[in-house]
Chains A and B, each alone.
Chain A
């Protein structure tokens, strides 16, 4: 089979949310010696881009976005052993968390998968993450961006706590901070000193890309 054929069946498999097609096409592509990076980027990521587009246009719902990301995850698992240390993740690191006391993770997960698709390396700390763990992860991974999600008015304040803790650890200046979730407003983001409040996942991811690409340009 020509390389194009594998790539297009990976792309279509993602768009059609078809676990079997993607896993099989990924296996066949690897057996045929197709470049693993191309398999991910030109096959699966290209499919995810179409899914993201359809989501933005309202043709696909959250469920499709979530399932597409899962299909892609299974496909990437097949390809991973062939990557041999070469990385497709070129846009930099993001530490992502739902803050302490909050168990809402759907929004955060969408952002995490879209960031991954864009080429960020995301360290997703999960839900109900204590402030100290977020600060620890920033120290350890030295990301360009910290993303936080909170849906409860009760837990929103934890985002401010994280920012203060990052300041105390002299880490605040080293990262951009983006926050999101139902209850979070731009006014609140300004009040706690976050750099941006995302209205939705796509807009937030665009902002992250803008940050890292404009800082690359400056360097």
Chain B
């Protein structure tokens, strides 16, 4: 068999078929550009690049941004003026925001909202107006361009925002101080009404993205079972995933969702979703569901695993040990790809160490092969 390209490797594994080697890759937005990254890519590391397939326009909504100081802290205030009234959010930006990948700061942190759009019950109808006046238009240029540039070096995925209830929990109501849960208990009808409006307004976007040139359509959902408990997941996330999956599968594409938190409590429900790929799964010590268990539980799914940042803090030796242990858990190594990180910056030393372990993982993987790899690393 001729050697697969990095792109073929990722996509073959993602379709549940056996690749020649265990695919491993770095996300473009967390990737260090430089000698170590170049070296690791030359040694087999692929690249994944998330880009949108649409542009967003807010009709009859006037958006104004201005810097303000709140309790001594400089923030950027974005006000949305609509015929129903105005709402605003405040954003704290670290050095580098807007100058690096995907609005990340030099430390790889997105802007933090210190005030959310929804503060009081009256804000719901304003936000509903905005949602209902949101227009999505196909724009495949960013994906076509990335595919052209990346070629066989990796895989371009089409990125969706948080799914509707997650949008409310993480972005618009926010979970600070448990606010989402309190609103969900106190203003239940308002929350559900807005959820339905978001879900409806997203329908054209789901079609657009399913028809995009990307092979994988990825919902950046940040699922954590502590926050999105099984009741919420079943009621608001699973139906939405069904809705997203239909056009995606009709176009023969793969559907992924980012589940980077502790998902053990959701594992049986996740098994029932139409997802092809559970992306960002972090095994212990960051998460609470071991990869081996996830793979044996989700027989029709593929895991794109995220390497635990807390292991990286312990240095390259601990990283090596952890990677070898991981491999022992996933024999024969099918239905799995490993991302160097889904959130953090990775040091050159750790990047090279993971590459040293993974560059020779021929599939099917056996205990003996792992023994040989371990020995070769000294």
Contacts and interface: CB of A to CB of B under 8 A. Distances in A.
B309 A153 contact: yes
Given A67-B185, A153-B309, A182-B286, A62 B226 contact: yes
A106 B180 CA distance: 11
| Size band of the interface chain A makes with B | 20 to 34
B231 A61 contact: yes
A127 B114 CA distance: 10
Given A61-B231, A105-B176, A154-B107, A185 B182 contact: no
Given A103-B176, A185-B285, A185-B310, A19 B185 contact: yes
A153 B229 contact: no
B185 A153 contact: no
B83 interface: no
A103 B73 CA distance: 14
Most buried by B among A61, A70, A127, A185: A61
Contacts of A79: none
Nearest to B182: A70
Contacts of B186: 19
B175 interface: yes
Interface in B179-200: 181-182, 184-186
Contacts of B112: 103, 128
B227 A106 contact: yes
Interface in B222-240: 226-227, 229-232
Given A62-B227, A103-B176, A154-B109, A67 B312 contact: no
A104 B322 CA distance: 26
A128 B175 CA distance: 15
A109 B178 contact: yes
A109 B107 contact: no
A63 B232 contact: yes
Given A67-B181, A106-B226, 15 more contacts: A17-B185, A61-B230, A62-B181, A62-B227, A66-B182, A67-B185, A105-B177, A106-B175, A106-B176, A109-B177, A152-B109, A153-B344, A154-B107, A154-B344, A185-B285
A67 B313 contact: no
A213 interface: no
Nearest to A70: B182
Nearest to A107: B226
A44 B221 CA distance: 36
Q: Categorize the interface residue count of chain B.
A: 20 to 34
A70 B309 contact: no
B104 to A, nearest CB: 12
A128 B94 CA distance: 12
A142 B13 CA distance: 57
A182 B282 CA distance: 12
19 contacts: A17-B185, A19-B185, A61-B226, A62-B226, A63-B229, A63-B232, A66-B182, A67-B182, A101-B107, A103-B112, A105-B177, A109-B178, A127-B176, A153-B313, A154-B109, A182-B310, A185-B285, A185-B310, A187-B314
A189 interface: no
Contacts of A152: 109
A183 B309 CA distance: 8
B310 A62 contact: no
Contact of B178 (A70, A101, A154, A185): A70
Contacts of B286: 182-183
Interface string A11-33: 00000010100000000000000
A101 B109 CA distance: 10
Contacts of B230: 61
A39 B231 CA distance: 32
Nearest to A110: B178
B342 to A, nearest CB: 13
A106 B184 CA distance: 16
Interface string A143-158: 0000000001110100
A138 interface: no
A162 interface: no
A109 B182 CA distance: 13
A156 B312 CA distance: 13
Contacts of B344: 153-154
